[in-house]
A and B are shown apart, each in its own frame.
Chain A
Amino acid sequence: MTIKVKVLDRPIEQVSYVRATVKGLALTFKHMVDPHKVTVQYPDERWDISPRWRGTHRMLTTEDGKAKCVACGLCPTVCPANCIKLVPGEDEQGNRYPLVFEIDEFRCIFCGYCQEVCPEEAIHVGRHYENAEYSRDSFVYDLQRLTEQTHPVCEMWDPADQKGE
């Protein structure tokens, strides 16, 4: 049995190869001479990132330079990637503070739950994304490194202001 191929009876201007070629050449030429290019020259120029961008973490500090974290343990609990390591400590006045606070940026999925759950507004995800390193070990950020970050922090999604305006 032969294969039956239906051929649509299209108008000539749709099936003409000559016209299509000329039209295509005109279009590509127009784009070639068009000085507007979409490429962002990355290291020289960058896009503005969204105020809700969830990037490299940052630990905020109190006025005397200590981390705001009270080692409540909520962030390691909520973390879906299990990338936060927290060992709590307590000083003479009974104030809790983190003895060890490490975030493995490799494991992190940047969901921002740690920032949302934090009662002290201590840990934040930040508006920053250039965190290349020479070794895998360097991606485990300890407390000192987290407090030393200076980039702006993420403004979390606000149900009252859904478009972030």
Chain B
Amino acid sequence: MMTAMLFAQVANSQTDPSTGVFIIATVVKMVVIFTIYMVGVAYSTFAERRVSAWIQDRHGPNRVGPQGLLQVAADGIKNIMKEETYPGYASQALFILAPGLAFIPAFITWAVIPFGSPLPTPWGRIDLVVADLPVGFLFTLAISSVGVYGIVLAGWASNNKYALLGGLRASAQMISYEIAMGMSTVCVLLLSGNVSLNQVIAQQSQMGWNALLLSVAAFIFLISAFAETNRVPFDLPEAESELIAGYHTEYSAMKFSMFPISEYANMITASAMMATLFFGGWDIPFTQWDNTGPFTVLKSLATFAMFSSKVLFFVFFYIWIRWTLPRFRYDQLMSLGWKILLPISLGYVVVVASTVLALDYAGVTRGPMFGAVLFGINIVLMGLLLFVADRGRLVSPAYSRLDKRNVDKLRAASVGRSTLPRPVEKGA
């Protein structure tokens, strides 16, 4: 909006490039992003191992290269060299297809995530996003839902009951949390009035980050993102204590490795979505320097660094959570998704929509004032949510507090009764 007007006024390096330049620039961006992303995925596996080790008072892999930094290369070579096994009676075609199906959607999402302010070049202004789709946000939702096919197909094609159970769990879990996730992002779209991710970022740079304006939505999105990426505490599809390794039980070598890679890829993508939708994307907080033209290379680099640090923080947060929390039980997972997150997110959409409507009606322009009002309402709601969640009724009936009358009833019923059956007396 404001930025768009500025673009129109400035010189050659700030205007839209010609078609030829656009195509070349897009190809270059694809290659660069793919490379950075692949390296990022590889190193997030390494980071997971190091951080988990530190949390458990160990050192982690620190032998291959300085600080163990070449460990990922060693792992990659090992996985490629290993023997591939195919289970008998497996559906071969789908068995081979499934890792790819899990792997590719995680990468495609990155096409629409903006990772820096526009870069001026002698051939025109290049947007730092591979494809600035007008429907960017809807695209990410659609593609992230496709990712579950890989897992379900892997579980089904393996001809193994544990793999199948893992695949079924994955599909049930993803469908459940997809809804809460979609609902929580509706609030973001209400504020930005657009589904283009660049517009979402522009809105946040004007009003303040959505994490402050829409904390409840951010909270729900965060939880749902954990469930969507099958990370602990929602890693039921591969719960090794119940399902061996879940959907990838029958996989070996590089095909197995594709599943962890896609998990980490999903994790980075979810972190990037979290950063873009709720933490301002590439916006640098407390300054408008980065949002206004004329754009320079320095601004591009600074915003890219900002975006990367946000993404890396969330990747770290994922890892941190994984080594802190135990896994949910299956009924707890379903109850959290359907009975808690979905109603809260639905109610929150209503609250945010009414607030936005009321503020627009009262003639408040979309800017810092608008944000401040939302922030105020949001603090109250967040406090309320945490208070209610803290009353011990959060997830499961087995951990919930009974009211006084029921406790008395239970105690009365259990008086004088052993929980074990009495032994049969001989000769009686």
Interface residues of A (CB under 8 A from B): 4-7, 9-10, 12, 15-19, 21, 24-25, 27-29, 31-34, 36-39, 41
Q: Are A15 and B57 in contact (CB under 8 A)?
A: no
A21–B325 alpha-carbon span in the complex (Å): 7
Q: Are B390 and A16 in contact (CB under 8 A)?
A: yes
Q: Are A18 and B389 in contact (CB under 8 A)?
A: yes
Please name all residues of chain B whose beta carbon is closer than 8 Å to the beta carbon of A39 when the two chains form the complex.
57-59
- Interface 9-residue window, one of B260-268, B287-295, B367-375, B406-414: B406-414
Please name all residues of chain A whose beta carbon is closer than 8 Å to the beta carbon of B135 when the two chains form the complex.
none
Please name all residues of chain A whose beta carbon is closer than 8 Å to the beta carbon of B58 when the two chains form the complex.
37-39
On chain B, the number of residues with a Cβ less than 8 Å from chain A's Cβ atoms is 28
Please name all residues of chain A whose beta carbon is closer than 8 Å to the beta carbon of B321 when the two chains form the complex.
25
Residues facing A in B339-372 (CB within 8 A) are none
Please name all residues of chain A whose beta carbon is closer than 8 Å to the beta carbon of B55 when the two chains form the complex.
28, 31-32
Question: Contacts A24-B324, A32-B55, A39-B59 known; A9 to B390 CB distance under 8 Å?
Answer: no
Q: Are A6 and B414 in contact (CB under 8 A)?
A: yes
What would 12 A/B residue contacts be, using CB atoms closer than 8 Å? Answer: A4-B413, A9-B401, A9-B402, A15-B401, A16-B392, A16-B394, A17-B395, A21-B324, A31-B56, A31-B57, A34-B57, A39-B59
B398 close to chain A: CB less than 8 A: yes
Q: Are B320 and A15 in contact (CB under 8 A)?
A: no
B35 close to chain A: CB less than 8 A: no
Q: Are A18 and B407 in contact (CB under 8 A)?
A: no
B400 close to chain A: CB less than 8 A: yes
Of the candidates A4, A10, A17, A29, the one whose C-beta lies within 8 Å of that of B401 is A10
Please name all residues of chain A whose beta carbon is closer than 8 Å to the beta carbon of B386 when the two chains form the complex.
18
Please name all residues of chain B whose beta carbon is closer than 8 Å to the beta carbon of A29 when the two chains form the complex.
320
| CB of B316, distance to nearest CB on chain A (Å) | 10
A125–B410 alpha-carbon span in the complex (Å): 63
A9–B399 alpha-carbon span in the complex (Å): 9
Q: Are B320 and A28 in contact (CB under 8 A)?
A: yes
Q: Are A6 and B392 in contact (CB under 8 A)?
A: no
Q: Are B392 and A37 in contact (CB under 8 A)?
A: no
Q: Are B390 and A37 in contact (CB under 8 A)?
A: no
A25–B322 alpha-carbon span in the complex (Å): 10
CB-nearest residue of chain A relative to B388? A18
Of the candidates A10, A16, A38, the one whose C-beta lies within 8 Å of that of B57 is A38
| CB of B414, distance to nearest CB on chain A (Å) | 6
Q: Are B390 and A19 in contact (CB under 8 A)?
A: yes
Q: Are B323 and A28 in contact (CB under 8 A)?
A: yes
A33–B54 alpha-carbon span in the complex (Å): 7
